[in-house]
Amino acid sequence: QVQLQQSGPGLVKPSQTLSLTCAISGDSVSTNNAAWNWIRQSPSRGLEWLGRTYYRSKWYNDYAVSVKSRITINPDTSKNQFSLQLNSVTPEDTAVYYCARDRRATFDNWGQGTLVTVSS
């Protein structure tokens, strides 16, 4: 079965870059049948979809407008994983971050979640 394993720091200083990685087992980041997403959850924002990467003969990305100027999601085919980078973070970016697989825009597999706190 598909498993997603997240890794990355739980504490980031304001104005710095948040970086997380999601390792995939049981599927391929290059599959034509799914997309690979980052979603976050906080008490103030609830569940918020951030963006995704997917392969359909070439690589594509979709990003939420709220973070579009600060976010990059990249696949790593050599390690079968994908990553999130969120630049210029503020305390409002404090949240639990999840990676998730979607098939037809429905999230059927999720990572375990990573609490990221933005604080000096």
Interface with other proteins by CB under 8 A: which residues? 37, 46-49, 52, 62, 64-65, 98, 100, 102, 104-108, 110-113
Exposure letters 27-55 (e unless 16+ CB within 10 A, then b) = bebeeeebbbbbbbeeeeeeebbbbbbbb
Q: Which residue's CB is nearer to other proteins, number 66 or number 77?
A: 66
Supply the minimum distance, in Å, between the C-beta of residue 15 and other proteins.
25
Q: Which residue's CB is nearer to other proteins, number 49 or number 55?
A: 49
Distance from C-alpha of 4 to C-alpha of 81, rounded to nearest angstrom:
9
Q: Which residue's CB is nearer to other proteins, number 58 or number 104?
A: 104
